[in-house]
Structure formats: C-alpha cells, structure tokens
C-alpha cells in the first residue's frame, strides 16, 4: 500500500515528516495523513514524491515490491544503459569529472526551498479614508486575502485599505493595514474610526482625531458626534 511504502522510503532516506513536507510544499499533517492512509495524494504529489525518492510510480503505489527498486534489480532503461556504457568508456579523469558534476547536481536538487508562511484574513474592500472621510457602513463587502505571517498579522482580525494621504508618512494611500478589532484604543494610538457614518484611519487625541500629515486638519469630536472605534491599526499587511 502507498502509505506503507511512503513511510519506508522516508525512513530509509533519514527524513522526518516535516522535512518531506517542506520538500513538497505541504504541511506536516498532510504527510501524516498520507502515511496513516486517511488521505490520498493527487497525481502531481505522487509524481513529486517519486522524484524525491528516485522510484517509479509502480514502486510508490505498491504495484512493485519496494525491495526490487531499492536493491537495484529494477530493469534499467535503454538511456540509462547507454549512459553507463559511456561512463565505463571514460578514463579515470573523465569518470571523476562526471562524478563531480553528479554530486553538484544532487546537491542542487536537494536544496529545500522555504515557502513563506501565510495567514488568511478578511479584507474590507470599502476603504478607510485617511483624508476627508469615506462611508464605512454595515454592508461592506469583504473578501479573503493571504498575508505574510508576522507577529502583527497574528494579532489582526481584518485588513482594511487606506484611501488618502492624511496619515503620511506613517501610512500611505493604498496601504492595506492590519486591524485588531476592539471597541477602544488608547490615546495616541492609531485606529479605525467611524464618525457620523464616515470611516477614518487616525490617531486618537483628546476630543479629536489627529492627522499625521500636517497639511490636514484634525477632526474635532463633541457630544453630538456619533463615534465608533472599529479597531486598532497594528501594522501593514504584506499581501501575497
């Protein structure tokens, strides 16, 4: 069975599940499920596994005994036989040159490419204005985006796009900011606010919302304003 063969191949190669998962660009849990038989890989993944362990598909799926492939009794292809014949015709210097090239290529093929870790977050497509204000109602449409896994991204609940330049140079027009949803922020912290049905990204001051860009006036707050804090801005999202 495939799950038993996979485990044998992995152990024989001195590779743990996490190392194999990195080679394949998968999670460790996916490898665990393959080996327990609770999940079947796609044809593409099967081919990648066969390439990593240098076995054919019949061996990998259990149609051929693993010992036949591992012990070298598997029949060579005509091309492989021709390569061996050419190799044996070389002098010692030529064989060493070929051996060196093979070692270089094996090292290149064994390099594990680290894929960036991602976090999926909802993104509000209606913009939080950094300028004169833009409507942020209850019916805003959200989509989901993959952002780079960072400490700031782990704290966030949502991504919101900035519109306007009143928070420059801290935040720029078009930036996607990471927002931790919470009902209040501390003074001098930057948050997302809805004031009289208009959305802003601003720094909280004393009875006002502060624009970092001095070309913009601050927004005064009084008892007649309808003010809601959406959350605290904790960073900029690196969307993949």
Q: Indicate whether 128 and 219 sit together in one domain.
A: yes
Q: Indicate whether 86 and 139 sit together in one domain.
A: no
Give the Cβ contact number of residue 219 at 10 Å. Answer: 21
Domain span including residue 80: 76-114
Number of domains in the chain: 3
> Could you tell me if 182 and 229 are in contact, meaning their C-beta atoms sit under 8 angstroms apart?
yes
Q: pTM here?
A: 0.52
Q: Indicate whether 130 and 224 sit together in one domain.
A: yes
* Average pLDDT over the chain, rounded to an integer: 84
d(CA 77, CA 231): 64
Q: Indicate whether 138 and 232 sit together in one domain.
A: yes
Task: Give the model confidence (pLDDT) of 81-115 as tens digits.
Answer: 888 888 888 888 888 898 889 888 888 777 766 77
Residue 138 reports pLDDT greater than 70? no
Mean of pLDDT values over 201-224: 92
Q: Indicate whether 131 and 228 sit together in one domain.
A: yes
Which of 97, 114, 131 marks a domain boundary?
Answer: 114
Mean of pLDDT values over 129-133: 72
Task: Give the model confidence (pLDDT) of 163-202 as tens digits.
Answer: 888 899 999 998 999 999 999 999 999 999 999 888 899 9
């Amino acid at each position: 069975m495939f799950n038993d063969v996979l485990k044998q191949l992995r152990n024989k190669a001195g590779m743990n599940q996490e190392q194999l998962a990195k080679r394949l660009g998968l999670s460790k849990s996916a490898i665990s499920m393959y080996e327990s038989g609770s999940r079947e890989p796609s044809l593409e993944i099967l081919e990648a596994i066969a390439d990593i362990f240098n076995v054919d598909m019949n061996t990998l799926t259990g149609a051929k005994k693993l010992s036949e492939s591992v012990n070298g009794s598997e029949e060579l292809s005509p091309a492989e036989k021709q390569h061996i014949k050419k190799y044996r015709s070389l002098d010692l210097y030529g064989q060493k040159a070929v051996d060196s090239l093979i070692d270089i290529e094996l090292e290149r093929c064994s390099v594990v490419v680290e894929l960036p870790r991602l976090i999926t977050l909802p993104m509000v497509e209606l913009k939080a204005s950094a300028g004169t204000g833009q409507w942020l109602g209850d019916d805003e449409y959200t989509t989901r985006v993959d952002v780079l896994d960072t400490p700031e991204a782990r704290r966030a609940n949502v991504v919101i796009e900035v519109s306007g330049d009143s928070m420059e140079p801290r935040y720029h027009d078009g930036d996607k900011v990471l927002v931790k949803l919470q009902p209040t922020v501390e003074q001098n912290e930057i948050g997302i606010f809805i004031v009289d049905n208009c959305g802003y990204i601003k720094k909280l001051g004393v009875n006002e919302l502060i624009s970092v860009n001095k070309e913009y006036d601050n927004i005064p707050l009084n008892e007649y304003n309808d003010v809601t804090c959406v959350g605290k801005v904790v960073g900029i999202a690196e969307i993949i």
